[in-house]
Amino acid sequence: MGRYILRRLLSVIPTLIGVTLVIFLFQRLIPGDPAVAMLGERATEENIARIREQFGLDRPSFLDRDALAEGNLAGFFDSQYSRYFGRLMRFDLGESIHRRIPVAETLKERFPATLELSLLSMSIALLIGIPAGIASASKRNTALDGVTMVGSLIGVSMPIFWLGIMEIMLFSVFLKWLPTGGRLPTGVEIQSITNLLLLDSLLTGNFAGFVAALKHIILPAVALATIPAAIITRMTRSSMLDVLQEDYIRTATAKGLSLRIVLFRHALKNAFLPVITIIGIQAGTLLAGAVLTETIFSWPGIGKWVYDSILGRDYPIVQGVTLLISIIFLFVNLVVDLSYAILDPRISLE
Amino acid sequence: MDGLIKLENLRTRFHTEDGIVNAVNGVSYEMAQGEVLGVVGESGCGKSVHALSIMRLIQIPPGEIYDGEIWFDGRDLLTLDEKEIRQVRGRDIAMVFQDPMSSLNPVYTIGFQIVEALTLHTDLNKKAAKERAAELLSLVGIPEPEKRLDNYPHQFSGGMRQRAMIAMALSCEPKLLIADEPTTALDVTIQAQIVDLVIRLKEELGMAVMWITHDLGIVAEMAHKINVMYAGYIIERGSAQDIFKRTKHPYTMGLLGSLPKIDDAPGTKLFSIPGLPPDLVKLPKGCPFFARCAYRKEQCKTEMPPLEEAENESHIVACWRWREIQAGEIQ
């Protein structure tokens, strides 16, 4: 197991290099000059050139053939990408073009908000999806199954932005139960430890803070959880239905085990493999979905930040956030692969 | 021998999209304690369904046990509630299934699966149950049983898995072991080993065995009684001698006739019964074997023959014409 983990961690390195290349390339493919975006349409040629030089935007993207022709080998490799990569090696994600603040600093500040939202959404999705899927499969073709299946179909097809707006209209505007956006109301302070507000408020025994944070997070979390919950429900159901047809389920029943033990001990562990794969993939879409959700609910996480940065062509921010999301996704996949081996003894990792 | 289990007019059917499949159509018989009963017939004749009905392992819906009684230990198994029938399953009646490759849960160790049955039905604690599980594995002839307890099913061969299944079935010393084609999926040499194993264990533990198979050779060797089933009916029942030497029903004759014989000349074509069993959705009104029977007459088409005694009281047959066939009056 240890060797497998090490091997998988090492294999992350080439994948990450690939990710940096793709991130870098896609940004160059988007039309528009960041220097112009920064200085405005009326900027003088001179100023634009200065900014371009300052940020290295005047360098070629990958390799400088002119420098090679002059016999300047160092210059040949001195490109936007090599500078970007070199900075990455020093954990330097660059500076925001507009605000001149290190990207890593803002990331550290904003990422916990997204993490908290994603974790809560995933928890909601799992708490709804898995029990609903099991119940639906064990009561196949009953009214309960029908309601669950129709509900999950609606959930899968629901556009997040529409659901978010509907939530705001119902609970915030009409019923006035919950705030329309943000993470905390002004005036409420939560001592920061992990920067996950729900956790921090509990750790510091700040009950009022906890309630305030919960009130703010619940609408975006539900909106973000809808699609994963629906997909996990459907996947759990179909996987359970497959497993319940297996001979070993009949063996377990023939032993005299109760339906509950047959379902939860003998069926669920087998049915869980495809569900875990889906959960891993959903973890990725959850982070992507956060961009929309955070924008609708003015959630101060990386989703809203990257949305603003794309509009402003703030390359370093977009690069930094994309890289972080990629690393998380790679890590989640590693955990998924490891959990296969834990759940299914037939899968050997060595 | 005292009575152990008594089936009366058991009827099981399945509701499917094509209509109602009448899988078991009024099966009645009695088994004594320690008896070995062979149940034979073609695929789809209701052998397995009737056995699963005894354990109430029919999935409801689409299945339905809609008539009959199954008397066991002074109780009708069909009237027990879910909790009561669970007490019977595994403890009083245990079952071994056809395919050992898929009958064990792949994600739990062999030991866990045997211990699970033991702790469910006995007072043994975990440690004692584990020791007992090792004993059981050695009883069914698995070497190094303590080590093997920690193996997963995929680390066992097919024959060994079936042995483990038998160990699991015998763990709570059931009064009746139902073996549903336990050797069908195994190599011939392994088949013989499993048959020998069950016969030996039956002698040692004194349980009754119901052996469901389409292999007449196996039941000839071991069964006290044989039920021949066709289209969900018992059409002939008797001792191995009755069935093999004093065959009465044309279908049983056909089954026996389709076995290859050691003195057949090379190149002799194997006999096979012409036609197919009837569609269980549209069962014929009369004898279910009518369409394939060489001895049929008009009455067979419209009236189902009752099971009646032939020669001795233990040999019964459902055929209008067995006397005429016996006397050689018809060909």
Residues 6+ away with beta carbon under 8 Å from A47? A39
Tell me the C-alpha distance between A116 and A103, whole Å. Answer: 20
User: How does strand B233-239 pair with strand B225-230?
Assistant: antiparallel
Phi, psi at residue B93, to the nearest 5°? -125, 125
**Three-state SS for A210?**
helix
Q: Over the stretch B10-25, which tens digit does the pLDDT of each residue have?
A: 999 999 888 888 888 8
What single-letter DSSP state applies at residue B305? P
User: How does strand B176-180 pair with strand B93-96?
Assistant: parallel
For chain A, what's the residue count? 350
Q: Are A64 and A286 in contact (CB under 8 A)?
A: no
Tokens 């900027």 locate to A43
**Shortest Cα–Cα distance, A143 to chain B (Å):** 15
Q: Which of A141, A255, A269, A339 is the best substitution to test chain B (most B C-beta atoms within 10 A)?
A: A255
Q: Are B88 and B172 in contact (CB under 8 A)?
A: no
Residue of B nearest to A341 (CA): B107
If you average pLDDT over each of A117-131, B31-45, B65-79, B136-150, which comes out highest?
A117-131
Tell me the C-alpha distance between A310 and A304, whole Å. Answer: 10
**Shortest Cα–Cα distance, A122 to chain B (Å):** 26
Q: Over the stretch A27-46, which tens digit does the pLDDT of each residue have?
A: 777 777 777 777 777 878 88
Cα separation values, A160 from A81, A221, A286, Å: 35, 11, 11
pLDDT score recorded for residue B2:
66
Contacts of A346 in chain B (CB under 8 A): 106, 152, 154
**Shortest Cα–Cα distance, B61 to chain A (Å):** 10
Chain-chain contact of B103 with A252 (C-beta, under 8 angstroms): no
Q: E strands along chain B, which residues?
A: 3-16, 19-32, 36-40, 63-72, 75-76, 93-96, 176-180, 208-213, 225-230, 233-239, 308-310, 312-317
- pLDDT above 80 (res B185): no
Phi, psi at residue A256, to the nearest 5°? 105, 10
- Cα angle value B294/B245/B263 (rounded, 5°): 85
CB contact, 8 Å: B16 with chain A?
A: no
Chain-chain contact of A257 with B116 (C-beta, under 8 angstroms): yes
Single out the residue of A304, A126, A119, A293 nearest to residue A197, CA to CA: A119
**Shortest Cα–Cα distance, A310 to chain B (Å):** 47
Residue of B nearest to A246 (CA): B102
- Residue B100 exposure: Cα atoms within 13 Å on the Cβ side: 31
Q: Which of A251, A259, A268, A273 is the best substitution to test chain B (most B C-beta atoms within 10 A)?
A: A251
Exposed, middle or buried by CB within 10 Å (0-12, 13-18, 19+), for A201? buried
pLDDT score recorded for residue B270:
77
- pLDDT above 80 (res B298): yes
Tell me the C-alpha distance between B136 and A64, whole Å. Answer: 76
Given A246, A251, A258, which is nearest B86 (Cβ)? Answer: A258
- pLDDT above 60 (res B81): yes
- Paired tokens of A300: 């101060």
Tell me the C-alpha distance between B109 and A121, whole Å. Answer: 35
Contacts of B165 in chain A (CB under 8 A): 251
Tell me the C-alpha distance between A87 and A73, whole Å. Answer: 20
pLDDT score recorded for residue B264:
75
Please state the pTM of the whole predicted model.
0.81
pLDDT score recorded for residue B1:
47
Tell me the C-alpha distance between A212 and A214, whole Å. Answer: 5
pLDDT score recorded for residue B39:
92
pLDDT score recorded for residue A338:
84
As averages over each run of 10 residues, the pLDDT of chain A (350 residues) reads 80 87 80 74 82 78 76 77 84 80 87 91 94 91 90 89 88 87 79 81 84 89 92 94 92 90 91 90 82 88 86 82 87 86 76
For chain B, what's the residue count? 331
pLDDT score recorded for residue B330:
67
Contacts of A255 in chain B (CB under 8 A): 89-90, 94, 116-117, 120, 168
- pLDDT above 90 (res B244): no
Residue of A nearest to B151 (CA): A345
Chain-chain contact of B120 with A255 (C-beta, under 8 angstroms): yes
> What is the DSSP code string of A127-141?
HHHHHHHHHHHHTTT
Cis preceding-peptide flag for B100 (omega within 30 of 0)? no
pLDDT score recorded for residue A32:
72
Cα separation values, A72 from A87, A122, A258, Å: 22, 53, 77
Which residues share a beta bridge with B31?
A: B5
Cα separation values, B131 from A49, B147, B153, Å: 83, 12, 19
Superfamily of domain A106-349: MetI-like (1.10.3720.10)
**Shortest Cα–Cα distance, A252 to chain B (Å):** 8
Residue of B nearest to A248 (CA): B103
Single out the residue of A273, A282, A336 nearest to residue A118, CA to CA: A282
CB contact, 8 Å: B86 with chain A?
A: yes
Complex ipTM, two decimals?
A: 0.85
Run of H or E residues at A93: none
**Shortest Cα–Cα distance, B154 to chain A (Å):** 7
Q: How many CB atoms lie within 10 A of CB B269?
A: 6
Contacts of A252 in chain B (CB under 8 A): 105
Instruction: Locate all alpha helices (DSSP H) within chain A, ordered by sequence.
Output: 2-29, 34-39, 45-54, 65-69, 73-77, 80-89, 103-138, 143-157, 160-167, 197-203, 207-244, 247-254, 259-261, 268-296, 302-311, 315-343
> What is the DSSP code string of B244-277?
HHS--SHHHHHHHHTS--TTPPTTPPPP--SS-P
pLDDT category at B241 given cuts 50, 70, 90 is: confident
pLDDT score recorded for residue A132:
94
Given A256, A259, A266, which is nearest B105 (Cβ)? Answer: A266
pLDDT score recorded for residue A349:
61
Residues A171-187 as b/e (b if ≥16 CB within 10 A, e otherwise) read bbeeeeebbbbebbeee
By a Cβ cutoff of 8 Å, what residues of chain A touch chain B? 141, 246-248, 250-259, 266, 269-270, 343-346
Chain-chain contact of B152 with A257 (C-beta, under 8 angstroms): no
Tell me the C-alpha distance between A322 and A332, whole Å. Answer: 15
Chain-chain contact of B103 with A253 (C-beta, under 8 angstroms): no
Cis preceding-peptide flag for B153 (omega within 30 of 0)? no
